[in-house]
Amino acid sequence: GLAGAGLPYAGGFAIILFTVAIKGLTFPLTYKQLESTTKMQAMQPKMKKIQTEYKDNPQVMNQMIAAMYKDENINPLAGCLPVLVQLPIWIALYRAIINMANENILDQPFFFLPSLQGPVATMGQGIKWLYPLVDGAPPIGWNSAIAYLVCPVVLVLTQVYSQRVMSPPSDDPAQKQTQQVLQFLPLLFGYFALSVPSALSLYWVTNNVLSTAQTVGVKALIGSQMPAQVESSDDEGEMTEEIRKVEGFSVKVKKPKKISKKKK
């Protein structure tokens, strides 16, 4: 292993390499997820038109939307596949790290972290390492407490940025409501990271960074395959069609055609 090769901080680098390997294995599913998400975003004008025309008939509206997904070869559930695949891996990793922490296998530093199994090596400790204060300081001291707080803080920041990249602002009321609920998810992850070994927080931070990089890269690749949008104005007049192409499919969006004014 890495420790046998004499590599310093072998435990932390092993977790990072493990995370990279998992992201590499699940990348095909991630690509399909991002491709489907991009297609659905491009289909928003057409979907809004269906929702407006059939707002009084929800059954027909749902049938029209389902037919649109089928015609454009879009799978709305594609976004769930990477999560479902990685969930058993996360559960197994969580249990493995807890067991190794209980056996003091992770009792090794990683750069600024005093120990990968700290600040919580056993279940049920919660945030007792941080609060209540003893003589004006956390029970483990300010130096160790600040070091262990870095990963949860970075985790919250990377999770917020990752969510913004993966779920850009939308005018859809349902999606807006979902995004409002999900905006509290990073804080939940950050709080949970306070009560687990820092090795698990290191995995989450690495996973967030890699997920964000994959999202930015794939969206840039798909975006480069989209033609430049046809210029138009807001003047009233005839309607022209703009075609957006993403990975072999097209969406027609009606836009107003500019009318040249004749001089008297």
Cα 76 from Cα 56, distance rounded (Å):
23
- DSSP letters along 98-122, please? HHHHHTTTT---BTTBS-TT-S--S
Q: What is the pLDDT along the chain (264 residues), one digit of tens a residue?
A: 566 666 788 889 999 999 999 999 888 888 888 887 777 777 778 888 888 888 888 888 888 888 888 887 777 666 666 777 778 888 888 888 888 888 888 889 999 999 998 888 776 678 889 888 888 899 999 999 999 999 999 999 999 988 888 776 666 666 677 777 778 888 998 999 999 999 999 999 999 999 999 888 888 887 676 544 333 333 333 333 433 343 333 444 444 444 444 444
- DSSP three-state, residue 58: helix
Tokens of residue 223, six digits: 């975006």
Report CA Rg, the chain: 25
Q: What is the DSSP letter of 80?
A: G
- pTM over the 0.85 mark: no
Three-state secondary structure string covering 240-252: EEEEEEECCEEEE
